Structure formats: C-alpha cells, structure tokens
C-alpha cells in the first residue's frame, strides 16, 4: 500500500445515463452491473481500497439512490457528489472539486474494468511534473476507444477514435484514468455542463500532459457487446482472473 495514495482523492464518474446498456440493465446504473455474484461497483471499491485510497468520491446522477443504497448496505466509506441534472464528465469533475480541496486528484470512469498500478502512476506524475497524466493501454477489449497521439518525449498531443481497421495491440488507447493537478480547474469552461474528452482535454494537450503506458486489460462495459465480453472473461479466462481479482 502506497502512503501517498492515502491522502490523494479519487473521483469515480458514475453519473452516466447508460442509454446504450439500458436494454441489458433497464433498472440499474452501469456501475451496478452484475459481474458474477458481485457488481462492477464492488470491484472498483475493492480495487481502490487495496491500492490504498481512503478518499473515494463517487460522482452520481442517474439512479443515484441505487448506488447510495448499495454503498450503505456494504458499509463502503465513500463520499457522494450528487448531480441533480446530467453534467457530462467534465461538469461532474467540476462539481466534485469542493470535496477534493487543493490536492492532486485522480479521475476514473465508473463503467470500466481497468486496474492500473496507481502507485507507479503517482510516481510517474511527480517525475514528469505535468498538469495531467493519462493512463494508456494496448489491451483494449472490444470496439471503440480513442487512439492517443504522442510526442517523442511522451506528451499527449491529441487523439482520434479507433476504427474497425485498427487493432488495439497496434496503438496506445486512452484507459479513462487520469491524475490531475488542481490547476486543471483554471482551464474549465464557464458552463456547468461539459465534457472532459471534448471540451477540456484538447486544451490540456497544449500544456504538459503526459502518457503513462500500461499493459493492463481495459474493458468498457458501456454497450451490451462489451459487457458480455467482460462477463465471459471473468468467468472463463483463468489467465485474466489474477490480474483482475475482484474480492
């Protein structure tokens, strides 16, 4: 357990509407998607707790009462940043900043399976001294994803959407986990609702934003196809389960 993570907040984005997955999960937010006898939420909390995080901030919106009830039932020590209306990924982070204070903070998506080495990411970020560090992976399961463009010194300078012709193993893809400096707030739009990916990151790419490469498996469960892949991998892939041990 890395002592620095104990004092570093992490914002988990759980407020998405889950429109594409609603045919599979009609009455649950994506973070409560069942995986075996547990849920994705349980995996995330277990993963972050094991890593050493003690300040876990859940940004919740759609069906948030279900998430709060699950956290209470399982006695999870978390902080809720509640949206009264959809704010987008950027607006959700902006709304959660009062719980962060003036510290560096992590942000991760709450609808993905991804278990990076947070300690190494923290040390990497300290060494690079940039405004943001972005975790990447070449082991992106399923369709979709953003292929990241890098400068020779490892700075992120842009990205593009992965197409059917691209294979994940050929490229570094965004893994939806970031370590940010408090100064990123200086670049937030004035509007309440905005996207990290579309509205903020293009601005940060002009600053000192560095890529942290990993070889960890990444699964975005946001569509039925990838959710089914995740279920099969947890159930059947013996080589996967040590890397993504959930409990």
Within-domain flag for 86: yes
Query: What is the DSSP track for 81-122?
Result: EE-SS--HHHHHHHHHHHHHTTS-EEEEETTEE----HHHHH
pLDDT of residue 241: 43
Within-domain flag for 80: yes
Within-domain flag for 245: no
Q: Between the CA of residue 50 and those of 130, 138, 145, what are the distances in Å?
A: 26, 24, 27
Q: Which residues pair with 245 in a beta bridge?
A: none
Going by C-alpha positions, the residue among 67, 59, 42, 53 that lies closest to residue 9 is 53
- pLDDT at residue 247 greater than cutoff 80: no
What six digits make up the tokens of 162?
Answer: 């992965």
How many domains, in total, are found in the chain? 1
CATH of the domain at 216: 3.90.550.10
- Its domain, for residue 28, covers 3-236
pLDDT tens digit sequence for 24-37: 777 889 899 998 78
pLDDT of residue 12: 98
Within-domain flag for 243: no
Within-domain flag for 241: no
pLDDT tens digit sequence for 121-177: 999 999 999 999 999 999 887 767 899 999 999 999 999 988 877 765 678 999 999
Within-domain flag for 37: yes
* Measured distance CA(160)–CA(173) in Å, rounded: 9
Within-domain flag for 246: no
Within-domain flag for 144: yes
């Amino acid at each position: 357990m890395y002592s620095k993570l104990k004092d570093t907040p992490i914002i988990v984005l759980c407020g998405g509407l889950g429109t594409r997955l609603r045919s599979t999960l009609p009455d649950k937010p994506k973070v409560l998607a069942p995986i075996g006898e547990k849920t994705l939420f349980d995996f995330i909390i277990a993963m972050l707790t094991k890593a050493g995080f003690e300040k876990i901030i859940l940004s919740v919106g759609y069906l948030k009462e279900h998430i709060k009830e699950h956290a209470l039932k399982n006695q999870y020590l978390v902080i809720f940043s509640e949206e009264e209306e959809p704010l987008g990924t950027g607006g959700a982070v902006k709304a959660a900043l009062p719980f962060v204070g003036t510290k560096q903070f992590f942000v991760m998506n709450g609808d993905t399976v991804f278990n990076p080495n947070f300690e190494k990411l923290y040390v990497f970020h300290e060494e690079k001294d940039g405004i943001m560090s972005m975790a990447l992976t070449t082991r992106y399961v399923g369709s979709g994803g953003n292929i990241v463009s890098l400068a020779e010194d490892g700075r992120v300078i842009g990205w593009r959407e992965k197409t059917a012709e691209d294979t994940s193993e050929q490229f570094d893809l965004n893994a939806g986990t970031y370590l940010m400096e408090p100064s990123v707030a200086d670049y937030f739009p004035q509007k309440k609702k905005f996207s990290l990916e579309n509205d903020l990151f293009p601005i940060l790419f002009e600053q000192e934003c560095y890529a942290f490469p990993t070889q960890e498996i990444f699964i975005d469960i946001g569509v039925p196809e990838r959710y089914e892949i995740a279920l099969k991998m947890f159930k059947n892939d013996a080589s996967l389960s040590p890397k993504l041990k959930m409990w």
